[in-house]
Homo-oligomer: A and B are copies of this chain.
């Protein structure tokens, strides 16, 4: 097996998932000089590479990755190692006509000399690959390792309208088991559209500057899923101006406004559900004020968003893969209902037929 690499630096301009070209650091998700810097935590989270993704074509037998990171003071956290730190690889499967999971880096990067192997083993011929960046790291530079004599081509980023998912730590990756299983990435694959991941852990607080930035983009649809970060005291001042700004800028695009799924820990508090319901109701009333003028706004209840069995996490508030799998199905359904644009390229029956072809 050929494991000799030549290293190709990943050009940020080739990556999907970037809303602006003129960012402070190459893989940043928000631009400088637009008022975000004053929200220290949000500004810091905007440097994380969540949702950055690259498509390339190669016949390399082995694929590696090396990368360096900005040395910020990172928050200590229980962010699962491989979702936070891993690069995650999908390959295009001709039988399914879709991206299928192909490899994940393991281990923690210590220096940029560390080489991680994304794919080894069985040669897959010349093929397109989709590479997701880590959800919780500030990637400074990254290099793809390709066999010396292999064919290689970067695919330019997509120009069609992206799905824009504005959310909290959950959308910032906490805690899918790998980046490709993060909720926003799954929705984008399902509907075959590019993605702008606006998941900002602990800092998705409907700051008006974020609304103004979203207003200047051209998304296919917007999901707003920030209630877990919005203290009750912030709701009256923030919700209406934020939603108005976003909805007025995109009056013909579906905008889904989500209630949070209740934090698992809250079920153990006396009156925890009632307190959550009160919080949801305040939010819903504010939503309705804006909805009158903007019928493109759609409300999504949090009550059963992750099902009812409370097996959907491993800490007080974040989701596990089960929670995200259930949210994925709920939100894919919601998008299909509100817009004819969001239908899967192939029907469920056809997906199954293709799956079974692998065994013929």
Residues from chain B with a CB closer than 8 A to the CB of A248 are none
Give Cα distance in the complex from A204 to B276, angstroms.
46
Check: A238 CB closer than 8 A to any chain B CB. Answer: no
Query: Do A351 and B177 touch across chains, with their CB atoms under 8 A apart?
Result: no
Q: Which of B101, B269, B360 contacts A264 (CB 8 A)?
A: B101
Give Cα distance in the complex from A309 to B269, angstroms.
37
A177, A277, A356 interface centre (most CB from chain B within 10 Å): A177
Check: A13 CB closer than 8 A to any chain B CB. Answer: no
Stretch at the interface among A136-144, A222-230, A317-325: A317-325
Give Cα distance in the complex from A181 to B356, angstroms.
29
Query: Do A81 and B82 touch across chains, with their CB atoms under 8 A apart?
Result: no
A88 vs chain B, min Cβ distance (A): 8
Known: A122-B268, A268-B91. A177 touches B355 (CB 8 A): no
Residues from chain B with a CB closer than 8 A to the CB of A274 are 359-360
Q: Which residue of B lies closest to A316 (CB)?
A: B121
**Contact flags (1/0) for A256-287 with B, using CB distance below 8 Å?**
00000000110111001110110000000000
Instruction: Report which A residues bind B (CB closer than 8 A).
Output: 78, 80-82, 91, 93, 100-102, 104, 106, 121-122, 124, 175, 177-178, 180-181, 186, 264-265, 267-269, 272-274, 276-277, 303-304, 308-311, 313-315, 320-322, 325, 351-352, 355-356, 358-360
The 10 closest A-B pairs by CB, nearest first: A273-B358, A273-B359, A308-B355, A321-B321, A321-B322, A322-B325, A277-B359, A177-B320, A100-B310, A178-B314
A–B complex contacts, Cβ < 8 Å, 30 sampled = A78-B106, A80-B177, A91-B268, A100-B267, A100-B310, A101-B311, A101-B314, A104-B314, A122-B269, A175-B177, A177-B177, A177-B314, A177-B321, A178-B314, A180-B311, A181-B320, A181-B322, A267-B358, A272-B358, A273-B358, A273-B359, A273-B360, A274-B359, A303-B356, A303-B359, A308-B351, A309-B351, A311-B325, A321-B321, A322-B322
List 17 other contacts, CB 8 Å, given A122-B265, A273-B360, A274-B360: A78-B106, A80-B177, A82-B314, A91-B268, A100-B267, A101-B310, A101-B311, A101-B314, A124-B268, A177-B177, A177-B314, A186-B311, A267-B358, A273-B358, A273-B359, A303-B359, A308-B355
